[in-house]
Amino acid sequence: MAVYTQLSAEVLGDLIAQYDVGELVSAKGIAEGVSNSNWLVETTGSAANGRRFILTMYERRIDIAELPFFLGLLDHLAANGCPVPRTIHDRSGASSRMLHGKAVALIEFLPGVSVGQPTPAQSRSVGRVLAEMHAKAQDFSETRANDLDPHASARVLADCGEEALQAIDPALPAMIGVANEVAENWPQDLPQSIIHSDLFPDNVLMLGETVSALIDFYFACNDAMAYDLAVTHAAWSFSGDGRDFRPDVGRALIEGYEAVRPLAQDEREALPLLAQGAALRFISSRAQDWIDTPADALVTKKDPMDFVRRLEFYRREGKDVFAA
């Protein structure tokens, strides 16, 4: 379910008329995604902007005041050769508009599919593109703090409360203590850029072994580049439920990354802890969503235990997972 708001053909037609993209031909709701409403829009087209677009209506989690950061980042990265969709600006030059009290943006459609079970070759490509993205983001002029760091994970879990966590799974309350421990030891001086921080397979479009698009930059922020690599490692190198680690996929990801941007010694040494922080970030948001999502919501809830298994793996295996 990823169409939370119904928009009539007339409303959509009037909206599309605000852009230099021709007239509306069709608009189909997109089933994937959980945060926003998305439509695949086709128009009669224009030479400058083409004929296929993604229309996004921002529904939850995103602070509208931060949209200029997220949309400006897409334009900056696309202009610098990253496989990232650019935003289509309306006739007044704005990258977002308000519609029925919600912000909307029209975004370039890029081809490709999200892979279910990545191969090492696909993972290597993602590592390479992630490192290129970090390099190209260095000179983006705007900044955004990471509001989902390990201190935040510890706070979110504590706010959920031991009883509610216990009701989801008996292993979850202990995560509060683990999050505090990881937060206390969190490295402060690793090299930074703007990071994606949610680069799961469903946020990467691929054509075979080539990355055709990185999408969904709505958690992007300034933070350690090695942390972004750790998030991507946690997202790509395991079966979805976190039970099976795929060492060849994990190794290929890091090799691909280092082919563009070799890790410094302190970054490599930090990876086991960064990966634990990454797992805790998704344990905490998933636990919070599990508790907050109404029982009748048409959304597939994500299981925090998928990332408790990853966390336990990273704590058990230590630095061997990331050995060169």
Ligand X SMILES: N[C@@H](CCOP(=O)(O)O)C(=O)O
Ligand Y SMILES: Nc1ncnc2c1ncn2[C@@H]1O[C@H](COP(=O)(O)OP(=O)(O)O)[C@@H](O)[C@H]1O
Among 208, 202, 75, 210, residue whose Cα is nearest residue 129: 210
Q: Nearest approach, Cβ of 289 to ligand X (angstroms)?
A: 8
Q: Between the CA of residue 308 and those of 172, 278, 313, what are the distances in Å? A: 8, 11, 9
Distance from C-alpha of 145 to C-alpha of 288, rounded to nearest angstrom: 21
**Token pair 């989801």 is at which residue?**
168
The answer to whether residues 150 and 186 touch, using CB atoms and an 8 Å cutoff, is yes
Q: Which residues of 245-281 are buried (b: 16+ CB within 10 A; e: fewer)?
A: bbeebbbbbbebbbeebebeeebbebbbbbbbbbbbb
x-or-dash string of contact with ligand Y, 39-58, rule CB under 6 A: ---------------x----
Options 7-15, 168-176, 262-270, 281-289: segment touching ligand X (CB under 6 A): 281-289
Q: Between 55 and 280, name the residue whose CB sits nearer to ligand Y.
A: 55
96 counts as binding ligand Y under rule CB under 6 A: no
Q: Among ligand X, ligand Y, none, what does residue 214 contact (CB within 5–8 Å per kind)?
A: none
Q: Nearest approach, Cβ of 96 to ligand X (angstroms)?
A: 17
203 counts as binding ligand X under rule CB under 6 A: yes
| Count of residues touching ligand Y (by CB under 6 A) | 21
284 counts as binding ligand Y under rule CB under 6 A: no
Any idea how long the chain is?
Answer: 324
Q: Nearest approach, Cβ of 202 to ligand Y (angstroms)?
A: 5
Near ligand Y by CB under 6 A: residue from 18, 35, 80, 288: 35
Q: Among ligand X, ligand Y, none, what does residue 245 contact (CB within 5–8 Å per kind)?
A: none
User: Where does 161-245 have alpha helices with state H?
Assistant: 162-168, 174-184, 225-236
33 counts as binding ligand X under rule CB under 6 A: yes
Near ligand X by CB under 6 A: residue from 134, 286, 309, 310: 286
CB contact set of 10 (below 8 Å; sequence gap of 6+): none
